[in-house]
Chain A
Amino acid sequence: MIKHLFKLIWKRRKSNSLMMTEIFFSFLILFAVCSLGVYNFQNYMTPAGLETNNVWVAFINFNTANDTAKVQYKELVSQQLKQYPEVESFSYTSSNAPFTFSTMSNSVAYNKKKVSSDVITVEPDFPKAMSMTIAQGRWFTKADMAGNFVPVVITKHLAKDLFGTEDAVGKIFGDGEEAAKSKKMKVVGVVDYYKHKSDFQELDNSLFRPSEKWDDTMVLKVKPGSGAEVEAKIVRELARLGKDWTIEIQQMDGMKSNRNNLVLVPVIILLIICGFLVFNVALGMFGVLFQTINRRKQEIGVRRAMGATKGAILWHFIGETAVIATFGLILGLFFAVQFPLLNVFDIEASVYLIGMLLAVIFIYVLVGICAFYPSRQASVLQPAVVLHEE
C-alpha cells in the first residue's frame, strides 16, 4: 500500500507541488527554530557554575587617575564592607564581572597552540562570593602572587582547548600575543562551569587571574533577606568615605535576567513568526485537502466498491498527505543536513540533528492533524452516491 501511495503522489507531483513547497519551507523554518531551541535548552541545562542569589555588583568610580590613591581607596572600601554583618564576602573584579555588558578577552598559548579566552581578574574571595566550586586543584591565594608565575584558575573548557586530555593543574603557559615578554601563567585550579553572560551561554574559555590595582568593580555576597535598605545604607556610607566617589549597586539576579532576555526575546519573536507561518500553512493544507477529496469522490467510491473500509479510506488520505510531506521533507532535509556537515555557526552536530528530528516530527503531526478531518469526511462518503455523481 505504501508503494501504491508513493506511486500515486509521484504521478501527481505537479498538482501536489504547492503543498510540497509549503512543507519544505515550513520544515526549514521549524528546523531553524527547533535547532535554536535545542541549542539554548542544552546550554540552559548546563550548570552555571556560579550563584547569583543574594549577590550584588557594585560599580565604584573613585574619580582619580592616581593608582596609589586608588589602591588606598579600595582598601578603605574593603575595611568598611567588613563591618557589615549582612555582607558575607566580597571581591574586586575587572569590569567584566558576571552579567555585565563588558567583555575582556585575550589569547593564551601552550606548546604553539593558541586559543582565545575571556580573562577575568578577581581576588581570592571571588569564588566564595560567587559560590563557585573548584573541580581540580585550588583557587589562588595572596601567597601565590609572590611566585615566579601568575597563578590562574581556568575553566574545564579552556583546559581541554589548551592542554587536551593532559592534567591542567600545574601547567605553565604564556600570553598568546606577547609570550616572550609577559610573565608566564601557572594553572592552580580548574572550574567545571562558568556561565557569566547568560543562562543560555555555551560553555567557553575563561581564565581567572589575580585582581589588578585598577579593578573597581566588586561582587558582594549578602545574607538572604538583605534588601534595598541594606543596599542604600552601604551606598550611602561608602559614598561618605570619598567625596568624589560614585557608587552604584545592582542585584546580579536582575542583571542575569536582562542578559537572558537578550537571548529569549529574539527566540520568542521567531517563535511567534514561525507559529503564524505554520498556522497559515496548516490552513492552506486543510483547504487543499478538502479540494482534493472533492475532486476525487468517484475514486473514493471505486475504492469502497473494491473493498476498502471507511478506515482504509481514512488512512489512505492521511497516508497520501504523509507521503506528500515526505517528499517536501526529503528536499528540506537535504538542505538541513548541510548545517552539521559544514559545521555552520560552529554548533555541535547533535543540536542540528535533534532540530531536524523535532521539525520532522512536528511536520508529520501537523500534517496528520490537517489531514484527519478531510480524510474522515472522505471515509464517510456514500459510494452509491459518489459513483453516480457527474
Chain B
Amino acid sequence: MIQLKNIEKVYRTATIETVALNKVNLDIEKGEFVSIMGPSGCGKSTLLNIIGLLDEPSKGQVEIDGKQTNGLSDAQLASFRNQTLGFIFQSFHLINDLPVLDNVELPLLYRNVSSAERRRLASEALEKVGLSNRMKHYPNQLSGGQKQRVAIARAIVGQPEIILADEPTGNLDSNMGNEIMDILLTLNQRDKATIVMVTHDENMAKRTHRLIRLFDGSQVS
C-alpha cells in the first residue's frame, strides 16, 4: 500500500545541513496498523509528512497504492491527499469558527460533492465516532477527546484508504487516549483502513500491528 525507497530528507540553511531522514525504507501493507516511535527530533513527523505528501523527500521514492508520487503536480498531489489520505493531528487543528459538522465536511469541499451529500457523509462519520449529538457545537465547546474524535471523523469522511495520525493521543489523558485508540482500531479492523500513527506512548504502539522505531533519522527496527 505504501512503499518508501531510500527516503532522505535534508534541511539546508546557508551554514547548516540537518539530516532529518536517512535512507528510510518502508513497506506498509493494505489494512496494516503501523506505529512509528522515536525520541523527539528523530524524524517521525517528517516521515509522516512525506507519506502524507505534505513534504517532498530530498531523495528516494514514495509509492502509494501502486502510484509513484514523485513529480506529481500540486493539483495531482492535492487530489491524492483528498481522495486517498486522511490526517489526524496531535493538536486537532479544527476550525474554531465552524460548527462540528462543517469541520467534518471540510475534505468534501474540495471534491465535487453536493451540499446534501456532504451533510449526509459528515453525519455518518460523526456517528461512527459517537458524536452525532454534537454536530452543531463549536470546537471550543468540546473536550479534548471530543475534539480529537471530530478530527477523526474529518479524516474518515472522504473514506480514504490510508489514515495518518500524528500523535493523536498526545494532548489527551490516558482514558481519552484509549478511547481514541479504540476508535482507530475499530476503523482499522472494521473498515480495513491502513493506519500509520506517530506516537510517544509505548502502550498505544503495542496495540498496533507493527512498530517502527526511528533514531536520528534512521530506521532502527
A-side contacts of B45, CB under 8 Å: 388
Whether, in the assembled complex, B58 has its beta carbon less than 8 Å from a beta carbon of chain A, the answer is no
A3, A304, A382 — most chain B CB neighbours (10 Å): A304
A-side contacts of B102, CB under 8 Å: 4, 7
| Cα of A67 to Cα of B97 in the assembled complex, Å | 86
Size class of B's contact patch?
Answer: 20 to 34
Please, which residue of chain A has its CB at the minimum distance from the CB of B164? Answer: A305
Judged by DSSP, the binding face of A is: helix
B-side contacts of A299, CB under 8 Å: 93, 95
Whether, in the assembled complex, B79 has its beta carbon less than 8 Å from a beta carbon of chain A, the answer is yes
Q: A306 touches which one: B55, B87, B97 (CB < 8 A)?
A: B87
| Cα of A299 to Cα of B154 in the assembled complex, Å | 14
Q: Is there contact, CB below 8 Å, between B95 and A302?
A: yes
Q: B106 touches which one: A7, A306, A309 (CB < 8 A)?
A: A306
Given contacts A299-B95, A302-B106, A303-B106, contact A310 B54 (CB under 8 A): no
Q: How far is the CB of A217 from chain B (nearest CB, A)?
A: 72
Please, which residue of chain B has its CB at the minimum distance from the CB of A296? Answer: B95
Whether, in the assembled complex, A8 has its beta carbon less than 8 Å from a beta carbon of chain B, the answer is yes
Q: Is there contact, CB below 8 Å, between B109 and A387?
A: no
Tally chain A residues at the interface, Cβ within 8 Å. 26
Q: Is there contact, CB below 8 Å, between A11 and B74?
A: no
Whether, in the assembled complex, B218 has its beta carbon less than 8 Å from a beta carbon of chain A, the answer is no
Whether, in the assembled complex, B33 has its beta carbon less than 8 Å from a beta carbon of chain A, the answer is no
Q: Is there contact, CB below 8 Å, between A305 and B83?
A: no
| Cα of A383 to Cα of B55 in the assembled complex, Å | 8
| Cα of A387 to Cα of B45 in the assembled complex, Å | 11
Whether, in the assembled complex, B75 has its beta carbon less than 8 Å from a beta carbon of chain A, the answer is yes
B-side contacts of A12, CB under 8 Å: 97
| Cα of A4 to Cα of B109 in the assembled complex, Å | 9
Q: How far is the CB of A317 from chain B (nearest CB, A)?
A: 14
| Cα of A308 to Cα of B79 in the assembled complex, Å | 8
Q: Is there contact, CB below 8 Å, between A8 and B110?
A: no
Whether, in the assembled complex, B111 has its beta carbon less than 8 Å from a beta carbon of chain A, the answer is yes
B-side contacts of A7, CB under 8 Å: 98, 102
| Cα of A224 to Cα of B96 in the assembled complex, Å | 77
Whether, in the assembled complex, A384 has its beta carbon less than 8 Å from a beta carbon of chain B, the answer is yes
Q: How far is the CB of B147 from chain A (nearest CB, A)?
A: 13
Q: Is there contact, CB below 8 Å, between A305 and B98?
A: no
Whether, in the assembled complex, A146 has its beta carbon less than 8 Å from a beta carbon of chain B, the answer is no
Q: Is there contact, CB below 8 Å, between B49 and A384?
A: yes
Q: Is there contact, CB below 8 Å, between B81 and A305?
A: yes
Q: How far is the CB of A49 from chain B (nearest CB, A)?
A: 59
Q: How far is the CB of B156 from chain A (nearest CB, A)?
A: 12
Q: Is there contact, CB below 8 Å, between A306 and B81?
A: yes
Produce 1/0 per residue, A370-390, CB < 8 A to B: 000000000000111001100
Q: Is there contact, CB below 8 Å, between A307 and B54?
A: no
B-side contacts of A311, CB under 8 Å: 74-75
Q: A307 touches which one: B89, B97, B110 (CB < 8 A)?
A: B110
B-side contacts of A269, CB under 8 Å: none
Whether, in the assembled complex, B145 has its beta carbon less than 8 Å from a beta carbon of chain A, the answer is no
List residues 65-100 of chain B with CB under 8 A from any CB of chain A. 74-75, 78-79, 81-83, 85, 87, 89, 93, 95, 97-98
Q: Sorted from nearest, which 6 A-B pairs have the closest CB atoms? A: A307-B82, A384-B55, A307-B110, A384-B49, A11-B97, A309-B78
Contacts A/B (CB < 8 Å), 14 sampled: A7-B102, A298-B93, A302-B87, A303-B106, A305-B52, A305-B87, A306-B81, A306-B107, A306-B154, A307-B158, A311-B74, A312-B78, A312-B110, A384-B49
